[in-house]
Amino acid sequence: EPTLARRGGRLVKLTGDGALVEFASAVDALSAAIEFQQAMEEDNREQAEDTRIVFRIGLHLGDLIVDGDDLYGDGVNVAARLEAAAPPGGIAVSYSVRDAVAGRLNARFDDLGGLELKNIERPV
């Protein structure tokens, strides 16, 4: 949670083995994701391989529906499907996130091409 606080993130809800987090900007979201994954990698160096905790992160910049303290809609669905497509310990971002952070964040992207996601019209 310190990473969320530093980057202006809001923990919307915990979902079993996952979390839904909202950020005001794609730069803040990706910065937090990178910082979190780096911290987890550092922590895991001290752990036996069978006790390591590894997360996948999916980021998307898109429309959301706000319902009280909850969020839903295509923006959430795309992020969840990107999370499932991310490698263990990795971050998968949509084209909208990549384009929003271009030139504003020192990050390297491996282009996996447009991912076809269930119930999403266009590749992301």
C-alpha pair distances (Å), 52 with each of 2, 23, 80, 82, 117? 21, 27, 22, 22, 29
Q: Within a domain: residue 70?
A: yes
Domain assignment present for residue 123? The answer is no
Residue 92 covered by a domain: yes
Range of the domain at 80: 2-101
Is there a domain that residue 124 lies in? Answer: no
Report in angstroms the alpha-carbon separations of 56 from 67, 69, 103.
Answer: 26, 24, 24
Residue 18 forms part of a structural domain = yes
pLDDT in tens, 5-48: 999 999 999 988 899 999 999 999 999 999 999 999 999 999 99
The structure's pTM equals: 0.90
- Structural domain count, the chain: 1
* pLDDT, tens only, 50-106: 999 999 999 999 999 999 999 999 999 999 999 999 999 999 999 999 999 999 998
Supply the CATH number for residue 41's domain: 3.30.70.1230
Is 114 part of a structural domain of the chain?
A: no
Residue 88 domain-assigned?
yes
How many whole angstroms separate alpha carbon 2 and alpha carbon 36? Answer: 10
